[in-house]
Chain A
């Protein structure tokens, strides 16, 4: 999803929104410091994962944020559904795992501030 996050940052830049992209390559143990720093400096977070949002990467980030420095966290991922047979790009579109959706969630998160 990092490639889509980078693309989303470019889309946001067109709307004069400055977004930081962090690649959390290690989900456990998670880099608490970098997440808290991002929460403090940016004010809101969007997580993106090719995984269910139930208990996955977004949850791992939210666990850190809500206990250390609460800010809005929006999650892009599979919304409690099973997958389907299809071409990968079609499935990414169907489940909203796209740069466009990440950018939209960022706007939503900012509106919560």
Chain B
């Protein structure tokens, strides 16, 4: 049986790995233990901001920071990042084509027991409908690490869809 790692875990680790780039700022809406941005926070506390349970506001803060040359990773659960904050993502991030990356964890039904209210099954449809947006859906931990790397290198908004559940590692790290 292949090793199992959640893509959100790989996301948090990748942020910490590539976080030496001082342009990177990570925002979280009071879920950093679950979105795994706490891994980045431990290493670079001065560049991690918990904005509180205020996802819409977080997207606007992210947009503002991006206008100052920052590469911003705004993280929350997919249901909030793509759903609750949709208008801010559309109008404040994608319309001006700003360099904001949305790290969206707990996507899909594999969230499990939390049920329908927390299972984002519309986020791909919502995010891919917005002009300028790039949508990534990594299948495993190796792919998720590359998604973060690619998002940093790409100029413009990126939505990264990540899961809660540990999933088999499909790719070789050196692939």
Please give the residue numbers on chain A whose beta carbons come within 8 Å of chain B beta carbons, in ascending order: 1-3, 6, 23-29, 49-52, 54-57, 59-60, 78, 82-88, 91-92, 95, 97
Contacts and interface: CB of A to CB of B under 8 A. Distances in A.
Interface string B125-144: 10111000111111110010
User: Lowest 3 CB-CB distances: which A-B pairs, in order?
Assistant: A55-B125, A85-B115, A83-B119
Q: How large is the interface on B (under 10, 10 to 19, 20 to 34, 35 or more residues)?
A: 20 to 34
B124 interface: yes
A86 B113 CA distance: 5
Contacts of B122: 51-52, 54-56
B170 A50 contact: no
Contacts of A3: 139-140, 167-168, 170
A50 B129 CA distance: 18
Given A28-B128, A49-B124, A56-B125, A88 B136 contact: no
Given A51-B124, A59-B125, A25 B147 contact: yes
A24 B124 CA distance: 13
A97 B163 CA distance: 15
B53 interface: no
Given A50-B110, A85-B115, A87-B112, A26 B121 contact: no
A45 B168 CA distance: 24
Contacts of A52: 121-122, 125
A87 B111 CA distance: 8
Instruction: Point out which of A25, A26, A84 has the most chain B C-beta atoms below 10 A from its C-beta.
Output: A25
A84 B114 CA distance: 8
Contacts of A59: 125
B49 interface: no
Contact of B113 (A54, A78, A87, A97): A87
A52 B113 CA distance: 19
B107 A50 contact: yes
